[in-house]
């Protein structure tokens, strides 16, 4: 690997060598990266920037919005609306899709994002992040509509996240493995720090919100009970637990050292298939994990094969080290 090449050079080389990144997709990814740099700057200011705390509004999920949720959403919209690479955008923070304003040319891509995931951690200075997914607008049809966004995750042409932690790191796939770029604040650019990221197929570390244990379905309870039984139990090894309550941070740890992340369906709101959103959380994270040799299911089927019916639909998520995900999925299918 050429040491520490810039994101721009990496994308140009992928475009030239693999033909994987047409010009407008490269432009889109560079614009998203620049937007993430601006969001990182706002996040890093914290109280000094007057950006902590809540706005007096709720999003489509009925969640109270943090000031930074709204700032991040606006940064991504303003950065992407004029470039001519997008037909439209969808965000966790917006009820419906946003088509490119008529004063700008419309492009062939659809950008979906959770502008600031894990925002319950903002005020306590714990890592948060931006998650994004890129689809192609289906051929035909003049004006972009919500239906154009409702494509299974396997149709993504790019996906990634930017984690705002001790480092600001952009993690990206365009379908040829996963690469990581850390923001060099002196240069003001993202620099390649790792490519061909691989998740170990086995692990001794699980991530789940244990306070929900009494609400879990039997297969999840069985899996976690076996992990907790440790060396003396059926797994014959001890497990460690992590739960950061920022999907971006938990997934980054799993991409870096393996593990299994679970936010399964539970009995608290039985009509909801899960807490996390399919289109702009589970799909991009699921593709990244698969591109790094891991697996991502909803307990019964591959997340990327789920045919979406609603823009903000939720899904049960089990992702990470392949052998662990297959075990949990097997417990569901054989329950
Ligand atoms: P809980 C953050 O709000 C989020 O959407 C994910 O980033 C995170 O994994 C999960 O919810 C945390 O949920 O119920 O543990 O607070």
The pLDDT of residue 54 is: 86
Structurally, at CATH architecture level, domain 205-333 sits in: 3-Layer(aba) Sandwich (3.40)
- Residue predicted with more confidence, 230 or 142: 230
The two three-digit tokens of residue 20, written as one number: 């994987």
Q: Tell the residue nearest (CA) to atom 13 of ligand 1.
A: 245
pLDDT tens digits, residue range 190-211?
999 999 999 999 999 999 999 9
Atom of ligand 1 nearest to the CA of 261: 9
Arithmetic mean of pLDDT over the chain = 95
CA–CA separation, 335 and 324 (whole Å): 16
CA–CA separation, 298 and 219 (whole Å): 12
Report the DSSP pairing between strands 205-207 and 178-184: unpaired
CA–CA separation, 127 and 155 (whole Å): 29
Q: How far is the CA of 100 from the centre of ligand 1 (A)?
A: 30
Sequence ranges of the chain with CATH classification 3.30.540.10? 2-194
110: Cβ contacts below 8 Å, ≥ 6 apart: 86, 87, 88, 89, 90, 134, 135, 136, 137, 144, 148, 149
Q: Tell the residue nearest (CA) to atom 16 of ligand 1.
A: 245
- Residue predicted with more confidence, 108 or 18: 108
- Note the pTM of the prediction, 2 decimals: 0.96
Report the DSSP pairing between strands 64-66 and 86-91: unpaired
Ligand 1 pocket member 247 (CB < 6 A)? yes
Examine the pLDDT at 1 and tell me if it is beyond 50. no
The two three-digit tokens of residue 139, written as one number: 């051929």
Contact 173/188 with Cβ under 8 angstroms?
no
Ligand 1 pocket member 92 (CB < 6 A)? no
Q: How far is the CA of 14 from the centre of ligand 1 (A)?
A: 34
Q: How far is the CA of 120 from the centre of ligand 1 (A)?
A: 8
Report the DSSP pairing between strands 178-184 and 276-277: unpaired
Q: How far is the CA of 286 from the centre of ligand 1 (A)?
A: 16
The pLDDT of residue 228 is: 98
The pLDDT of residue 66 is: 86
Examine the pLDDT at 2 and tell me if it is beyond 60. no
Taking the CA atoms of residue 147, residue 149, residue 150 and residue 156 in that order, the dihedral angle to the nearest 10 degrees is 150
For residues 32-42, give the mean pLDDT. 97
Q: How far is the CA of 77 from the centre of ligand 1 (A)?
A: 24
Examine the pLDDT at 314 and tell me if it is beyond 70. yes
The pLDDT of residue 59 is: 80
Ligand 1 pocket member 120 (CB < 6 A)? yes
Examine the pLDDT at 60 and tell me if it is beyond 80. no
Examine the pLDDT at 94 and tell me if it is beyond 70. yes
Ligand 1 pocket member 44 (CB < 6 A)? no
The pLDDT of residue 85 is: 93
**Pocket probe mutation, ligand 1, options 247, 296, 320, max atoms within 8 Å of Cβ:** 247
Examine the pLDDT at 334 and tell me if it is beyond 90. yes
Quick one: which of 287, 246, 250, 267 has its CA closest to 43? 246
Examine the pLDDT at 331 and tell me if it is beyond 60. yes
Examine the pLDDT at 242 and tell me if it is beyond 50. yes
- Residue predicted with more confidence, 63 or 177: 177
pLDDT tens digits, residue range 105-130?
999 999 999 999 998 899 999 999 99
For residues 44-60, give the mean pLDDT. 85
| Strand ranges (E), the chain | 54-58, 64-66, 86-91, 98-99, 109-117, 128-136, 158-164, 168-173, 178-184, 189-194, 205-207, 240-241, 260-263, 276-277, 295-297, 314-315, 317-320
Examine the pLDDT at 32 and tell me if it is beyond 90. yes
The pLDDT of residue 17 is: 85
**Pocket probe mutation, ligand 1, options 131, 211, 245, 253, max atoms within 8 Å of Cβ:** 245
CA–CA separation, 32 and 280 (whole Å): 14
The two three-digit tokens of residue 238, written as one number: 């001890």
Q: Give the pLDDT band of residue 3 (cuts 50, 70, 90).
A: low
Sequence ranges of the chain with CATH classification 3.40.190.80? 205-333
Superfamily of domain 2-194: Fructose-1,6-Bisphosphatase, subunit A, domain 1 (3.30.540.10)
The pLDDT of residue 51 is: 82
Q: How far is the CA of 244 from the centre of ligand 1 (A)?
A: 8
């Amino acid at each position: 690997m050429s040491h520490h090449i810039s994101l721009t050079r990496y994308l140009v080389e992928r475009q030239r060598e693999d033909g994987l990144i047409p010009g407008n997709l490269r432009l889109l990814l560079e614009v998203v990266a620049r937007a993430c740099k601006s969001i990182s700057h706002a996040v890093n200011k914290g109280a000094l920037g007057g950006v902590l705390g809540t706005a007096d509004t709720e999003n489509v999920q009925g969640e109270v919005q943090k000031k930074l949720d709204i700032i991040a959403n606006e940064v991504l919209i303003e950065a992407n609306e004029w470039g001519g690479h997008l037909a439209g955008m969808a965000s966790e923070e917006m009820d419906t899709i946003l088509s490119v304003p008529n004063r700008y040319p419309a492009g062939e891509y659809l950008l979906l994002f959770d502008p600031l995931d894990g925002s319950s951690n903002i005020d306590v200075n714990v890592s948060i992040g931006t998650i994004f997914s890129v689809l192609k607008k289906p051929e035909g049809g003049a004006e972009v509509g919500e239906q154009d966004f409702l494509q299974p995750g396997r149709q993504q042409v790019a996906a990634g996240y930017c984690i705002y932690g001790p480092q600001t790191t952009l993690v990206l796939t365009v379908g040829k493995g996963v690469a990581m770029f850390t923001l060099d604040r002196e240069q003001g650019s993202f620099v390649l720090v790792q490519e061909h990221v691989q998740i170990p197929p086995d692990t001794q570390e699980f991530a789940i919100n244990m306070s929900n244990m009494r609400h879990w379905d039997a297969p999840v309870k069985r899996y976690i009970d076996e992990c907790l039984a440790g060396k003396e139990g059926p797994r014959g090894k001890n497990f460690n637990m992590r739960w950061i309550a920022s999907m971006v941070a938990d997934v980054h740890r799993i991409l870096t050292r393996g593990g299994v992340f679970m936010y399964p369906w539970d009995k608290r709101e039985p009509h909801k298939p899960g807490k996390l959103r399919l289109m702009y959380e589970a799909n991009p994270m699921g593709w990244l994990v698969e591109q790094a040799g891991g697996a991502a299911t909803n307990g019964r089927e591959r997340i990327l094969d789920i045919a979406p019916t609603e823009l903000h639909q939720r899904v049960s998520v089990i992702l990470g080290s392949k052998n662990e995900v297959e075990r949990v999925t097997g417990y569901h299918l054989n329950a």
